[in-house]
């Protein structure tokens, strides 16, 4: 009897230490302060820049997390996992009182006005937007019609913290890029391989299709998500596809054999890509090395 009590006591102590450890280590990373010096950029307000910015906000799928009208949305709310919500990005929300530098810092570096990580923001994608693209996006945000909506604050549960520390889910996008490193040279928007690579990077193809674009199950995806497809010119990928097939898949969500692509593939957003953007992206996808399905 005594032994059982001792053993139970020991297990409880170990559990408390492990849980306490997970909270302590994850909190220090999730709330760490980062210093960056955002560039001084002037935000345009001409209609052409605003239209360009709206297009980029669509291709970046901001609406997936901030709501279709960008006025805020609860992304996930599960007790042991997390509650994550994309704040209201219209002028009626917190952005209304933030400076342009605050917005540059939030979008490019994934940092809040307090200099702490914005949890769940895909900074590994946004970081690659050029200055011109970034200011056009901010111009479009500033021009949104104001919508009153408040979302609940973020809360990260034990399981999400453990998965985050184990490297299974990415909660802090800025940890995946060198936010203090040099900025890449801007790429002209034209039908070219470098621009296709830029569109793949900023369009988030890597975050679902993997670092080699070879597809496979996605870490941290909801259980009803199918694995991502192989986008490389491998036999298990797009080897047999033509550009016309690719454009149809990105605009209508249909494969060459007529089957539909699951809406987990965000073709609702990629359908907004222009002919030139899709041609550039196809040029790029044709240039990557063929990799077997699921290669990491």
Q: How many CB atoms lie within 10 A of CB 208?
A: 20
| Tokens matching residue 30 | 């999730």
* Pair 119, 154: CB distance under 8 Å: yes
Examine residue 82 and tell whether it contacts ligand HEC (CB under 6 A): no
Is 8 or 150 the residue whose CB approaches ligand HEC more closely? 150
Give yes or no for residue 143 binding ligand HEC (CB under 6 A). no
Looking at 23, 34, 91, 94, which residue binds ligand HEC (CB under 6 A)?
Answer: 94
112 binds ligand HEC (CB under 6 A): yes
Sole binder of ligand HEC in the list 50, 65, 144, 280 (CB under 6 A): 65
List binders of ligand HEC among 155-174 (CB under 6 A): none
Q: Minimum Å distance from CB 153 to ligand HEC?
A: 7
228, 247, 280, 288: residue in contact with ligand HEC (rule CB under 6 A): 228
Instruction: Please say which residue, 158 or 245, places its beta carbon nearer to ligand HEC.
Output: 245
Is residue 26 at the binding interface for ligand HEC, with CB under 6 A as the rule?
A: no
Q: Supply the DSSP string of 212-228, one letter for each residue.
A: TS--BPPTT--TTPPPB
Any contact of residue 280 with ligand HEC (CB under 6 A)?
no
Q: How far is the CB of 262 from ligand HEC (least distance, A)?
A: 3
Q: Which is nearer to ligand HEC, 8 or 200 (CB)?
A: 200
Q: Which of 81, 82, 106, 247 binds ligand HEC (CB under 6 A)?
A: 106
Q: Name the site residues for ligand HEC (rule: CB under 6 A).
A: 57, 60-62, 64-66, 75, 84, 86-87, 89, 94-95, 103, 106-107, 112, 118-122, 126, 137, 154, 200, 203-205, 207-209, 225-226, 228-229, 231, 246, 249, 255, 261-262, 264-266, 270, 281
């Amino acid at each position: 009897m005594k032994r059982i009590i001792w053993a139970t006591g020991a297990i409880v102590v170990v559990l408390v230490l492990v849980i306490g450890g997970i909270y302590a280590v994850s909190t220090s990373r999730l709330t760490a302060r980062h210093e960056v010096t955002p560039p001084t950029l002037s935000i345009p307000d001409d209609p052409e820049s605003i239209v360009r910015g709206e297009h980029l906000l669509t291709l970046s799928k901001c609406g997936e997390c901030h709501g279709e009208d960008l006025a805020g949305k609860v992304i996930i709310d599960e007790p042991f996992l997390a509650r994550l919500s994309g704040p209201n990005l219209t002028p009626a929300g917190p952005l209304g009182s933030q400076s342009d530098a605050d917005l540059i810092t939030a979008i490019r570096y994934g940092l809040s006005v307090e200099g702490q990580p914005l949890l769940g923001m895909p900074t590994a994608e946004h970081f690659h937007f050029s200055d011109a693209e970034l200011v056009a996006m901010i111009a479009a945000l500033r021009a949104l019609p104001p919508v009153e909506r408040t979302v609940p604050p973020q809360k990260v549960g034990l399981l999400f913290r453990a998965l985050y520390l184990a490297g299974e889910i990415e909660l802090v996008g800025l940890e995946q890029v060198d936010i203090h490193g040099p900025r890449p040279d801007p790429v002209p928007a034209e039908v070219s391989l470098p621009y296709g690579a830029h569109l793949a990077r900023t369009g988030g193809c890597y975050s679902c299709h993997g670092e080699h674009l070879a597809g496979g199950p996605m870490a941290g995806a909801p259980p009803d998500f199918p694995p991502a497809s192989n986008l490389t010119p491998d036999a298990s990928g797009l080897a047999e596809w033509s550009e016309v097939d690719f454009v149809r898949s990105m605009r209508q969500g249909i494969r060459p054999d007529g089957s539909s692509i699951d809406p987990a593939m965000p073709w609702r957003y990629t359908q907004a890509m222009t002919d030139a953007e899709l041609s550039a992206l196809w040029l790029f996808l044709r240039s990557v090395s063929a990799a077997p399905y699921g290669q990491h």
